[in-house]
Amino acid sequence: MKKSLLGKTLAELEVVVKDLGMPAFTAKQIADWLYKKTISSIDDMQNISLQNREKLGEKFVAGFSNHTQVQASVDGTKKYLFAAQIKKFVEAAYIPEKTRATLCVSSQVGCKMGCLFCMTGKQGFQGNLSAGEIVNQILSLPEREKLTNIVYMGMGEPLDNTEEVLKSLEILTAPWGLAMSPRRITVSTIGILPGMTEFLEKSECHLAISLHTPFEEERKKLMPIQNIFPIKDIIENLKKYDWSKQRRVSMEYIMFKGLNDTEKHVRELSRLLSGIKCRLNLIKFHPIPDTPLLGSEPEVMEYFRDALSARGITSTIRRSRGEDIYAACGMLSTKSLTESKEQDF
Amino acid sequence: MIKKIIISNTEIAGSVYVLSFKRDFEFLPGQVIGISNHLQEAPRLYSIASGNTEDVIRILYDIKEGGQLTPWLAKRKANDSIFITNASGNFISEMNEDACWIASGTGIAPFASMFFSGNYNNKLLIHGGKFLESFYFGNEFREKLGKNYVRCCTRETGDGVFEGRLTHYLKEKDDLNPAHKYYLCGSAEMVVETRDILLLKGISFGNIVGEIYF
Ligand SMILES: Cc1cc2nc3c(=O)[nH]c(=O)nc-3n(C[C@H](O)[C@H](O)[C@H](O)COP(=O)(O)OP(=O)(O)OC[C@H]3O[C@@H](n4cnc5c(N)ncnc54)[C@H](O)[C@@H]3O)c2cc1C
Ligand code: SF4
């Protein structure tokens, strides 16, 4: 099978052209065609000689692929389904707002992390996306020209696929790539400490942590990762990092009725997060099938936000978008996975 | 990371090994250590499978084809060296608490550590494996746990062994006590599917703790 050029960094393209005996500058030309002009075929790379295009075409394809399905909400939010590998699918959600348009991309097919509240977690893990498959969600988006922000909050745990995610971030931010500002990109993690450390070292993009409760025992029941990388260690590490250069860390907090929405949680959150400049995003929970969890009432969310803000933690309630098509992240792709078979264990 | 000299590295079933080295640190049964082949290489995590008063630390691992560490690790011999990190983690089941331990494959390791540390009273251990040889430390478990040690085998049949996945065993079981704690360890698929079954059977999510070998 031919390999994709899409997803290769400039350094990797330089190796490709060298191996094929082409001039070194061809690598930059290919990057231009892939990431700036988004051509669909190697044949369209007009400033590369026909002979060299043929050489490239013998081993590679451009690697773009269009979405296979789309669901549109009345509020303009759209959920796209992209094919990844064989018979596997991932979702990308396009969220237009007044002053910006955000794309929420996936980094894995399924996920290994098994968070109790997550539909993708229920799907198990089918594989890592390559940098090309991640970048394709952005470049093949019909609304691509309107995009202002990208968040890695779709299917999968980005920092369980650190190598490919970092490559995709390089492509999105490098001058030879999409040249986006890293301040327009946020990578969200449940707190995989080694991956997070590497990400903070090697990238300039914003970070979001899925916090969901400040209490260790409670978090263990929601998120198995807590057994391995406790949230207090994650926060301690974040406190050591220099956040003064416009790079941001934010906390994601899905609100579960009666579980993590009490006064006790406000107090513990302000203790845990003291000394770290961050925003807390409060998120409405959309129940998934067979879940024992319920979402907090809107007035409880408002009370929680105000109580946190009074303690100096900037908190906002994230506006729910695409509720009519919401059906939880991972639902669309899970339906498309009917052929997946029972694992032997 | 600290350098350790391997005492033994034995294949106990097809592509499954037990590696040991001298214990010179404290740990809580259920904790993990990181193992690496080089100081520069990112360590992989492994549950300690030995008791906390034994002279050695044992690790139970299987070879992941194409993996960075395990194919290399399987070739190590006594007196070769590896690098390890400190023990860490919170997958802890209290001594004497009423609990059901559920594991698939090498996910048995943390329960083996708890067991070899003397924590086996009031425990039901359910282990899923593909073959009869997949029930690592089976003799020791059977001796102390008796009928509270359940083996579920998907590809072979054997005396006293449940035929099929551990999830099928749990679906058929109608005496799960909602007041007990349930500890799950192994692949994401096993942990997620088992947790769903337990929830459907009326176990509160507050009594379910999972550790996933991601
Ligand atoms: C808390 C915890 C405890 C654990 N305890 C144990 C234990 O007790 N025993 C045990 O055996 N294991 C355990 N593991 C798993 C262990 O940490 C390793 O993941 C495993 O041994 C594989 O390591 P490896 O370096 O050989 O493979 P890796 O190099 O990590 O690769 C793993 C698999 O992924 C594939 N792969 C590698 N890179 C990619 C890529 N970019 N895209 C797609 N696929 C890829 C490989 O081919 C291989 O099949 C535990 C994991 C965790 C998180
Ligand atoms: S919330 Fe994120 S990390 Fe957790 S299971 Fe879902 S996709 Fe994976």
Q: Residue A84: what pLDDT?
A: 86
The per-residue pLDDT of chain B, averaged, comes to 97
Element (H, E) at A12: helix A10-19
Which residues of chain A register pLDDT less than 50?
327, 338
Beta strands (DSSP E) in chain A are 3-4, 60-61, 69-72, 78-84, 88-96, 101-104, 108-110, 125-128, 149-152, 185-189, 206-210, 249-255, 278-284, 315-317
Beta strands (DSSP E) in A265-333 are 278-284, 315-317
**What's the A126 CA to ligand 2 centre distance in angstroms?**
13
Which residue in A has a C-alpha nearest to residue B186's C-alpha?
Answer: A345
| Same-domain status, A311 and A277 | yes
Q: Residue A325: what pLDDT?
A: 74
CB A321 within 8 A of CB A73: yes
User: What residue owns the CA closest to ligand 2's atom 5?
Assistant: A121
- Of the candidates B117, B114, B104, which has an alpha carbon nearest to the alpha carbon of residue B168? B104
Q: Residue B48: what pLDDT?
A: 98
| Same-domain status, A101 and A231 | yes
A314 Cβ contact list (under 8 Å, min separation 6):
A278, A279, A280
| Same-domain status, A47 and A107 | no
| Same-domain status, A100 and A240 | yes
**Distance separating alpha carbons of residues A78 and A74, to the nearest angstrom:** 9
Which domain covers residue A246, as residue numbers? 69-343
| Same-domain status, A256 and A310 | yes
Q: Residue A319: what pLDDT?
A: 81
DSSP structural state of residue A341: P
| Same-domain status, A217 and A256 | yes
**What's the B59 CA to ligand 1 centre distance in angstroms?**
14
Beta strands (DSSP E) in A85-173 are 88-96, 101-104, 108-110, 125-128, 149-152
**Distance separating alpha carbons of residues B42 and A19, to the nearest angstrom:** 30
| Same-domain status, A194 and A248 | yes
Residue type, B124: L
**What's the B44 CA to ligand 2 centre distance in angstroms?**
21
CB A293 within 8 A of CB A116: yes
| Same-domain status, A149 and A251 | yes
**Distance separating alpha carbons of residues B150 and B153, to the nearest angstrom:** 10
3-state secondary structure of B203: coil
Which residues of chain B register pLDDT less than 50?
none
Give per-residue pLDDT as tens, A235-258: 999 999 999 889 999 999 999 999
Give per-residue pLDDT as tens, A60-119: 999 999 999 999 999 999 999 999 876 789 999 999 999 999 999 999 999 999 999 999
Query: Where residue A279 sits, what CATH number does that domain have?
Result: 3.20.20.70
Residue type, A112: K
- Provide the number of structural domains found in chain A: 2
The residue among A45, A61, A77 that closes a domain is A61
By the CB < 8 Å criterion, does A122 face chain B? yes
Among residues A12, A58, A91, A342, the one annotated as catalytic is A91
Q: What are phi and psi of B177, to 5 degrees?
A: -90, 120
3-state secondary structure of A98: coil
The residue among A61, A78, A100 that closes a domain is A61
| Same-domain status, A334 and A196 | yes
Which residue in A has a C-alpha nearest to residue B163's C-alpha?
Answer: A345
Residues of chain A neighbouring B214 (CB-CB closer than 8 A): 112-113, 125, 160
CA distances for B96 relative to A186, B1, B100, B167, B206, angstroms:
45, 34, 12, 25, 19
Q: Residue A340: what pLDDT?
A: 57
CB A17 within 8 A of CB A33: no
Q: Residue A201: what pLDDT?
A: 96
Q: Residue A341: what pLDDT?
A: 65
- Of the candidates B81, B106, B68, B84, which has an alpha carbon nearest to the alpha carbon of residue B33? B84
**Distance separating alpha carbons of residues A170 and B25, to the nearest angstrom:** 41
Q: Residue A323: what pLDDT?
A: 73
